[in-house]
Structure formats: structure tokens, C-alpha cells
Structure 1
């Protein structure tokens, strides 16, 4: 059976079910406007560990373990974990997987990793390669700052266009049965690079990829923006969201009031001084496993298009003067028939 729809989209005929989700966030995220939707809010961002990197590993472990518990199954029933993070060679994720006896696929899509993981986890179910899978990601403000920008101890000033890496982890458990929200479409993005080199303006670097994937999703599926209750990009922030909204209108699509950005929603930017908004693998992860998933379960939303966006740079590429390639992956999360 051919499940491809158009150029870049797959229609999942079996509708893989999202049985349970968990969101774990840091204290700053817990003070933001979406705090009521998060399952666990840390008292401090080091979470009792000796380093920020170990703390990130610990919140990923907490998120996955709680999701397994909520799903009322045991580890031996789960066929795959698909997960990734921002740190060198997936440090946080690889170390977290020592705690689980589950086959593991480590992936890297920068901040697009959550939608990428959801797509792979759902396709494994739909292809009858697995009965249960988990999609998860994590990020941590301080570990990301140390790797990609400047260590916090240096007290560097942040540009107004800069984004605040979310301290958080989100995970989803997928299965084949039950009256749960499901994944209908997976649209895999292409790398887009329009020459942006400013690492303090990742929203501008990622926006063209978001536009390309959203446009292609509509062309492939025949759907329109109004077919979704929410269209949520991953972490473009306020600047990237506006660019995306302007650029996609040139293709004849008006995203309108149902378009939000996870990075813009997770913080109160004026009060919390997060400048352009949130970012990081954990950004779209905790918003999708918290606000969006619970909205689907409670009947507030029937269709959500999650478009996680990633800036595919590295510390090496930035020092060599390279531009910042962007990527975006889209998954439709739905309830009903």
C-alpha cells in the first residue's frame, strides 16, 4: 500500500495513538504562561546533579519514566525509543539511555528533533515494525549556552533577537489501540539556507525552512490553514514567527490567528526577559506534550499541525564563518475519526 501523499508527506493509515505524554521543565519555564500544562516543574535547574549536562540527562530520564508509568506498561513492551538533544554527540540522550533496556535510535535535528522523533516513532508503528515506541527530546539553557554561545559566568549581553533555550524534556508513548490522539500525516522537511550567519537571530535562519515545509504540507495533503485549530512552529520566536507569516503569504496561504510559535508562547518575554522567545529541542517538546496534547485530549482542539524547526549549525561551522542551514518537520496530531 502506497502511503506517500504528494512530494514530502506520508499518510499514516493506522493512526498511531499517543497513549501518554510527560513534560518536565525548569523553574523559569514553570513561571511562564503555560505552567499549568506542565507535569513537573523543577525547583532548580541543576535538579540535584553536579553539572548542567547531568541535569539535562536527569530530566530526560524523568520524562520517559513517567510516560511509561502513565502508559501502564513495562519497558520490555516498548520496541524503540527515538530521542535526541543539542549537545555534542547527543550527550544528554546517550547517557540517559543507560537507564533503559529499550532499543534506541539517537537522532539529531537541532530544535526540530521532537517532530522528527514523533514522525519516526509513528511510522514505525504504522509500518508494523513496532507495537510501542517513545519519542522524546531534551534541552537545557545552561548546557546550550556553554556549548553554542558563552558560558554564563562570562555575563555576556544578549542581543534583542536572541532566544532563550528551554530547560525541559518532553516524551510521547505511541501504541496501536485506544481512544487517544493520533498522528495522521508526517511531512519531512528539506534543508534551506538563505545565508543568515547571525547565531543570535536563529528565527530568521529557520523561518524559510518552516515556510517551505508548511507550504509543502498544504500542497501534498490538500489541506488549508483553516483545517487546523492550531498551527504551531517549534521555536522561531517572535521575530521568526513574523517572518514566516509574511513569507508564506506570498504562496497564497494566510496562517491567521490559529498560528502560534512554541518559543513565543512558553515565556512572558517582557516580564521574564527572554527577548525573542524560547528555543531548544525541549521547546516544542514540552509545549506539544503539555499544552497541545492536553488540548486534544480535552476536546479544545481537533487538529494540530506541529512544525518543529531547527538551526543546523555547530560551534565549528560558526567559527568558520558558515551560514546557518534550517530544517523543519511537520506532524499532524488529531482526534476523532
Structure 2
């Protein structure tokens, strides 16, 4: 049974295993540098629907059902589903899950929701309350743009620090399993809300970086681990500017993660050819990069140990209009590669 260590971390002893994942991405994401790792690439961002919000729900539904199918299970075999998105009242997720016969926990951690859902799904298995749990998140460029920024038709000029919301959904199946070939979750470090006074909604990386730094530092303190214990330390969607801020702040705290550090938002697009400015963002960003690129490298034993730190900016359109600062949150999950049979 898991134990609480340090201030914010739980060590999981039963090794909840990530049995399979599915990544579904939009056309632009499929044209990026990680295209070979994604399971499904859409050629139509509406995905055959008549709205971008419906498209986002359909993308998540596809990711979840494909994950269950790959595991050779049925909906009735899944004990719980943890999921969330960026839309008001989690409609992308709720409308996807209404077609599934699975008990559901809806979550909102902004773009940190992937590690939030992964954390809680892992703890549900660790506690002996479930055998099969799905963790999933989604986002869509067009649905997020018109909720948080401007209608697409407006054609607004984008700030150099702005990020491109990823169209995509990642889904993971966690299982109580003795099959040692699959990666497992070893630690969960829950973040704290941090607000350093950033008010620019076009500079999410700067707003979220302090939360990422705080959680990563606390993970090392709680576990006694250091950067060299990980092959990759991946933040969720800080983009180029947020990644650089995080790297510098951690150096000032005495942690040099530079050689092992990637940011999912900086990896998913080619900034030189795809005009995505500071990089990717959104719940789907860390979801598809982990479910595709990182998980497949763990499964093939190219990676042995990964720290995934999804980051979220906890703002709303109303809070921005009222001049509120932007709080950030980050949750960390350590995933270790399975052993060879």
C-alpha cells in the first residue's frame, strides 16, 4: 500500500501499470516532429461534426474507446474514468463520456489535468479500489481560442509569447497487473497553486513556470531523488519561454535539469516551419506527447524513468477581463519502465 513521504508526495508500492495508451491529434500536430508516434491523425479538425466543441468530444471518445479496445477489454471492465478539458463545465469530456457506461470523475486543472487524472487513477488502483481505470484529457485549438481569446474570424495578431492550443486527446489505461513488461507509476507529487503576479494571458509559460519549479523541487526533496535519476523530465505546456524560465529558476535552486529537460509544448510543433510561436499548450498537449512519444519509448525500453509534470494556468475569460493575475498549478508523476519478460 502506498505511503505519504515528505510534504506532497505519495510513494506507490503496488506499481499500478499503464497497460496501453492512445493518442489522437489534429492535422497540424500530425505534421509536427512527433508525427510517427501518434496513433490517429485527423485530416479534418471538425472530425465529421458541425462544431469544434463536438469535434473535441469525438476526439476524446475515440481515444478512450481505442484504449479499451487495445487492452482487449469492454466498457464494463473499466471501474472508473478520470478526465477533463478546458471548456466551460467540462462539456467536451462530459459529452464524450455520456456515450460510455463507465463511472466518471470530471476534473479541472486547466492544462495540468493529464497528470491530475493520472495521479488520481493511479491512487485508485494503489488503494485497491479498482482494477482498471482510464485517465484522459483533451483540448482543441478552435474551441479554446474562442473561449479564452478571440473568435477565429476576428483574425487577431498573435503575441510572440502566445502558444498554440493542441488539438488532441490522450487516454491511458491503468491496471492492477503483475505483467512486468508495462511501465508503472512509482510516485505522485501533488502541486500547490502559485501566483507570481503575471497578468498577460498571452504569456502562459511565465505564469505556469513558478508552479512547475515548485513541484519539481518538492518532488526531489520528498523522494531524495535528483535530476540524474530521470532519463526525461517533461513539463506539460510551458512552451519555449516558460521552459527557459523553469530551467533558470531550478538552476538557482541548485537543480540542473538541462540535459534531461523537455517541454511537451516545445516538442510537439516545429516553431520554424509551423508558425506556432512559443509552442503548444492545452490539456491535450502533455496528454498526446506522453501517450504517444514518451510512453512508446518507455515500452520499448529506450527510456527507463520519466518525470511527467503537466502545468496549468488557472484563469478564466472572466478573471482575465477583471484584471486578475494568473495562478498556476503543476502535478508530477514518476513513471518507470517495465522489466523485460
Q: Return the TM-score normalized by structure 1.
A: 0.99
Paired position in structure 1 for 2:134: 134
The 5 Å alignment of 1:192-271 reads 192-271=194-273
Q: CA–CA distance in 2 between the matches of 1:147 and 1:280? A: 13
Q: CA RMSD in A?
A: 0.8
The answer as to whether partners of 2:2 and 2:14 remain within 8 angstroms in 1 is no
Shift of 1:116: 0.4
Q: Count matched residues.
A: 337
Shift of 1:2: 6.2
Q: CA–CA distance in 1 between the matches of 2:185 and 2:256? A: 24
1:90–1:302 CA distance, 2 compared to 1 (3 A):
same
The 5 Å alignment of 1:1-337 reads 3-177=3-177, 178=179, 179-336=181-338
Q: CA–CA distance in 1 between the matches of 2:148 and 2:67? A: 30
Shift of 1:256: 1.9
Q: CA–CA distance in 2 between the matches of 1:212 and 1:258? A: 18
Q: CA–CA distance in 2 between the matches of 1:88 and 1:168? A: 18
Shift of 1:5: 1.1
Residue-by-residue CA offset, 1:279-301 (whole Å, 9 max, x unaligned): 00000000000000000001110
Q: Return the TM-score normalized by structure 2.
A: 0.98
3-state SS, counterpart of residue 303 of structure 2: coil
**Structure 1: stretches of 5+ with no match in the other structure:** none
Q: CA–CA distance in 1 between the matches of 2:319 and 2:72? A: 44
Q: CA–CA distance in 1 between the matches of 2:38 and 2:337? A: 21
Q: CA–CA distance in 1 between the matches of 2:190 and 2:69? A: 30
Please list every run of at least 4 consecutive aligned residues from structure 1 whose deviation after the TM superposition is greater than 2 angstroms.
Answer: none
Shift of 1:99: 1.0
The answer as to whether partners of 2:2 and 2:10 remain within 8 angstroms in 1 is no
**Structure 2: stretches of 5+ with no match in the other structure:** none
Shift of 1:336: 4.0
